[in-house]
């Protein structure tokens, strides 16, 4: 024990801490310590001193820790980048076989047990699961960083509102149409960006998302600009979820002879949304096993090798973009009908970053991880109201730390290996 | 006619500012081949530091214009430069050698951190600085007139001096030579005894100081800003960098000025509501038809 103690150079740690403290003073001093108040300012030294103390203490502890054998081992472990997919044995039996049906049963029971407030929060969580799954195809599987994903979300939401306003289309007809429109926009965006890779792609998609938001904001004659538009509620075989139905319709509660409750529409949206999420999960699971899914991943790992082996990279990338976009469009329709109202402020770059944070935290390419992350990142801030102001900060830190610590996310993507069949030609 | 000339004057000063910020993108891209996503937010931080510097100076009773502007410039450039260094240290250095996607996501995280941290400490409301320099030179043109405010003149002079100093540093000094060597071939440069980590840090600091200069100039001119300004201006400066050819310093300045001029003309003649849409569309069009920009070298894909 004493041997390890002598190896620690405390002088170095103290110098590290002092340097970190000085940097913190320069970085945080003006912004945190001095708060602008018109052309005047208020000094807030106690906040500044607190932050500097935390930074110095943290740097000191980290510096000492990394000099211990344990810390060195930790550094070594995390400096090696664990890339690629974890392949399981061919006869691997996943525990999920039991967990999945159990989760579905619990999920089906939620609306009948939970309060209306919890139900609305869970619906929001499911919408983000859908968004996360969509972006996960583009970023996680195909490796194309799309920062304008919120654009497709907006197309879905405004598709419902505009379709209702101008064409009289309802929730059920817009659900598939919005998905198709979003997919077409995905293809339109996909074509030009196929020639770019990495960072250029990220910036162009970001620009695309902003263009959509700016058009929605400024095209006031059609979209009513920042004031937003109304979106219709879903109906159940033509029955509406209102206290009094509009002309020619029967309200849901009157048809079944039950008392009116405003929770019915949320229960209904929840159940439909749950079915759609399960459907998307299933489709995605199948896709990853099909050649197209494997081609996405191959393209992510090495594009040049894939192209030299004759893979049609245009088709492969476009398909990822279109499938991802259509999932985003679906989520948008649900969002609009859940809110009953859409306006451009719901579709800022922050939304895209949040969806990206879900994919990154959950594990790129991993379905289970994305589902869990979507719930954690959307439901947790709702339940911890007093920390809601800090959530963007937390997302940012999460993204930086995750990339340093576990670039492939918390849940590693796995796939089951293939076994040679008995009786094959030797 | 006078409207067009007026918009050209406005566009020129706006474009020189875009050029200053574009330098940060172009230098970082040249040296590590990635977009510093947090660069626009560094600009935003410099706007806040500018206002704080002015408030501090007036608190100490310093009112004379040259002293205030010099003090603000020095203070803002110093603080923002340290920001550049810290950002590189926290969000980029630990990721050296990992995949581009990881580095980019880390950079986006950094951008969110900066935005939210400033919002939490300073509040979400619009902030402002007092007008320090007023007055204008007027030229008669036909029936109307074109005016060049002293502030716009100051912006033009200051940004061209900034670019000149930077060009001198990169072309003539030892530090500049080391930067160019690292840009050309980081591995070879490090074999030949250049501390490439240090050079990359320096490049981030240089980029941040140029963004700081732009931040001071724009803040003094427009007066108002909030924690979100870095986002739009960051994308536009990036567009300027791509337009000029990313990786090329004169390209950044040229791209900035072309973008500033065309945006001002678009806003003046067609629609100011859609001027941001115009810039974004321009970015997409450049990237499709001329991804290496006006002065850039075509990128070679390496296996």
Cβ separation B104–A192 shorter than 8 A? no
Instruction: Please report, rounded to a whole number, the percentage of residues in chain B having pLDDT higher than 70.
Output: 97
* Per-residue confidence (pLDDT) for residue A180, from 0 to 100: 92
Using the predicted structure, report yes or no on whether residue A265 has a pLDDT greater than 70. yes
Q: Is A75 at the interface with chain B, CB within 8 A?
A: no
Average pLDDT, rounded, for chain B: 85
Cβ separation B102–A215 shorter than 8 A? no
Give chain B's count of helices (H) and strands (E). 11, 4
Q: Which has the minimum average pLDDT: A52-56, A317-321, B139-143, B225-229?
A: B139-143
Q: Is A356 at the interface with chain B, CB within 8 A?
A: yes
Mean pLDDT of A367-390: 79
Q: Residue A176: which residues within 8 A CB-CB, separation 6 or more?
A: none
Using the predicted structure, report yes or no on whether residue A252 has a pLDDT greater than 70. no
Determine the 3-state secondary structure of B270 from DSSP.
coil
Query: In chain B, which residues have their Cβ closer than 8 Å to the Cβ of A350?
Result: 112
Selected for mutation to probe chain A from B87, B103, B113 (highest A CB count within 10 Å) is: B113
Per-position b or e across A13-35, b if 16+ CB within 10 A of its CB: beebbeebbebbbebbbbbbbbb
* Per-residue confidence (pLDDT) for residue B78, from 0 to 100: 92
* Per-residue confidence (pLDDT) for residue B303, from 0 to 100: 45
* Per-residue confidence (pLDDT) for residue A259, from 0 to 100: 66
Cβ separation A199–B122 shorter than 8 A? no
ipTM of the complex, rounded to two decimals: 0.82
Cβ separation A215–B277 shorter than 8 A? yes
Q: Residue B164: which residues within 8 A CB-CB, separation 6 or more?
A: none
Listed ranges A16-20, A151-155, A168-172, B24-28; the one with the highest mean pLDDT: A151-155
Calculate how close chain A gets to B212, using CA atoms only, in Å. Answer: 14
* Per-residue confidence (pLDDT) for residue A239, from 0 to 100: 65
Selected for mutation to probe chain A from B88, B116, B247 (highest A CB count within 10 Å) is: B116
Using the predicted structure, report yes or no on whether residue B188 has a pLDDT greater than 70. yes
Using the predicted structure, report yes or no on whether residue B92 has a pLDDT greater than 80. yes
Give chain A's count of helices (H) and strands (E). 18, 8
CB pairs under 8 A between A and B: 171
> Which chain A residue's Cα is nearest to B47?
A31
Between CA A331 and CA A279 the distance in angstroms is: 13
Q: Is A196 at the interface with chain B, CB within 8 A?
A: yes
Query: In chain A, which residues have their Cβ closer than 8 Å to the Cβ of B111?
Result: 396
* Per-residue confidence (pLDDT) for residue A255, from 0 to 100: 64
Average pLDDT, rounded, for chain A: 80
- DSSP type of residue A166: I
* Per-residue confidence (pLDDT) for residue A426, from 0 to 100: 53
Burial of B90 (0-12, 13-18, 19+ CB in 10 A): middle
Between CA A204 and CA A277 the distance in angstroms is: 29
Confidence band (pLDDT; 50, 70, 90) for A2? very low
Confidence band (pLDDT; 50, 70, 90) for A81? low
Determine the 3-state secondary structure of A426 from DSSP.
coil
Cβ separation A31–B52 shorter than 8 A? yes
* Per-residue confidence (pLDDT) for residue A246, from 0 to 100: 62
Query: In chain A, which residues have their Cβ closer than 8 Å to the Cβ of B109?
Result: 395-400, 403
Among the partner residues B29, B112, B123, nearest to A392 by beta-carbon distance? B112
* Per-residue confidence (pLDDT) for residue A20, from 0 to 100: 86
Cβ separation B130–A32 shorter than 8 A? no
Selected for mutation to probe chain B from A16, A81, A199, A300 (highest B CB count within 10 Å) is: A199
Mean pLDDT of B57-75: 85
Q: Which has the minimum average pLDDT: A61-65, A237-241, B73-77?
A: A237-241
Q: Choose between A238 and B214: higher pLDDT.
A: B214
């Amino acid at each position: 024990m004493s041997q390890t103690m002598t190896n620690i150079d405390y002088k170095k740690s103290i110098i590290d801490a002092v340097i970190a403290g000085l940097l913190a003073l320069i970085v945080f001093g003006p912004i945190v310590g001095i708060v602008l108040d018109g052309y005047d300012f208020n000094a807030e030294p106690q906040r500044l001193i607190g932050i500097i103390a935390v930074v110095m203490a943290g740097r000191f502890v980290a510096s000492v820790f990394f000099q211990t054998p344990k810390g060195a081992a930790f550094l070594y472990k995390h400096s090696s980048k664990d890339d690629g997919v974890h392949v399981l044995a061919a006869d691997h039996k996943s525990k999920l076989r039991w967990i999945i049906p159990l989760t579905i049963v619990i999920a089906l029971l939620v609306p009948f047990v939970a309060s209306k407030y919890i139900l609305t929060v869970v619906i929001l969580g499911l919408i983000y699961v859908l968004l996360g799954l969509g972006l996960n195809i583009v970023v996680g599987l195909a490796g194309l960083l799309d920062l304008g994903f919120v654009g497709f979300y907006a197309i879905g939401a405004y598709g419902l509102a505009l379709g209702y306003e101008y064409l009289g289309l309802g929730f059920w007809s817009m659900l598939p149409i919005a998905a198709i429109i979003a997919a077409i926009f995905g293809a339109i965006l996909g074509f030009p960006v196929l020639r770019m890779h990495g960072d250029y792609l990220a910036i162009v998609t970001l620009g695309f998302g902003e263009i959509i938001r700016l058009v929605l904001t400024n095209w006031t004659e059609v979209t009513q600009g920042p004031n937003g538009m109304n979106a219709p509620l879903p109906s159940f075989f033509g029955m509406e979820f209102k206290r009094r139905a509009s002309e020619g319709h029967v309200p849901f509660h009157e048809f079944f002879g039950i008392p009116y409750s405003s929770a019915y529409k949320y229960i209904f949206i929840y159940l439909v949304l749950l079915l759609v999420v399960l459907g998307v999960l299933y489709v995605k699971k199948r896709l990853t096993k099909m050649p197209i899914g494997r081609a996405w991943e191959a393209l992510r790992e090495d594009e040049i090798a894939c192209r030299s082996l004759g893979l049609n990279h245009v088709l492969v990338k476009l398909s990822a973009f279109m499938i991802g976009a259509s999932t985003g469009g679906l989520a948008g329709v649900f969002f609009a009908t859940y809110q009953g109202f859409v306006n451009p402020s719901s579709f800022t770059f922050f939304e895209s970053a949040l969806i990206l944070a879900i994919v990154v935290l959950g594990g790129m390419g991993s379905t289970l991880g994305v589902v869990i992350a979507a719930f954690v990142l959307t439901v947790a801030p709702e339940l911890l109201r007093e920390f809601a102001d800090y959530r963007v900060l937390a997302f940012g830190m999460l993204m930086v730390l995750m990339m340093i610590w576990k670039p492939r996310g918390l849940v590693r993507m796995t796939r089951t290996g293939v076994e040679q069949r008995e009786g094959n030609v030797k | 006619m006078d409207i067009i000339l007026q918009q050209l004057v406005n566009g020129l000063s706006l474009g020189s500012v875009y050029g200053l910020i574009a330098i940060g993108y172009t230098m970082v891209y040249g040296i590590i081949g990635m977009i510093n996503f947090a660069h626009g937010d560094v600009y935003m931080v410099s706007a806040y530091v500018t206002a704080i510097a002015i408030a501090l100076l007036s608190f100490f009773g310093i009112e004379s214009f040259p002293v205030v502007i010099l003090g603000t410039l020095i203070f803002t450039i110093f603080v923002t430069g340290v920001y550049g260094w810290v950002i590189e240290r926290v969000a980029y250095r630990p990721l050296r050698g990992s995949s581009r996607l990881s580095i980019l996501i880390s950079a986006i995280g950094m951008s969110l951190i900066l935005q939210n941290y400033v919002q939490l400490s300073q509040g979400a409301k619009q902030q402002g600085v007092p007008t320090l320099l007023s007055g204008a030179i007027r030229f008669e043109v036909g029936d109307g007139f074109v005016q060049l405010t002293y502030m716009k003149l100051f912006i033009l002079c200051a940004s061209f001096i900034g670019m000149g100093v930077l060009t001198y540093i990169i072309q003539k000094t030892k530090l500049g030579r080391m930067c160019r060597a690292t840009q050309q071939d980081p591995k070879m440069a490090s074999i030949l005894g250049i501390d490439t980590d240090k050079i990359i840090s320096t490049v981030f600091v240089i980029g941040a100081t140029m963004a700081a200069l732009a931040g001071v100039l724009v803040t003094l001119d427009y007066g108002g800003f909030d924690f979100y300004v870095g986002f739009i201006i960051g994308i536009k400066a990036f567009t300027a960098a791509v337009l000029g050819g990313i990786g090329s310093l004169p390209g950044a300045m040229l791209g900035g000025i072309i973008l500033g001029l065309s945006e001002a003309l678009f806003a003046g003649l067609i629609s100011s509501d859609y001027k941001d849409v115009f810039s974004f569309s321009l970015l997409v069009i450049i990237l499709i038809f001329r991804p290496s920009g006006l002065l850039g070298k075509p990128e070679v894909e390496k296996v």
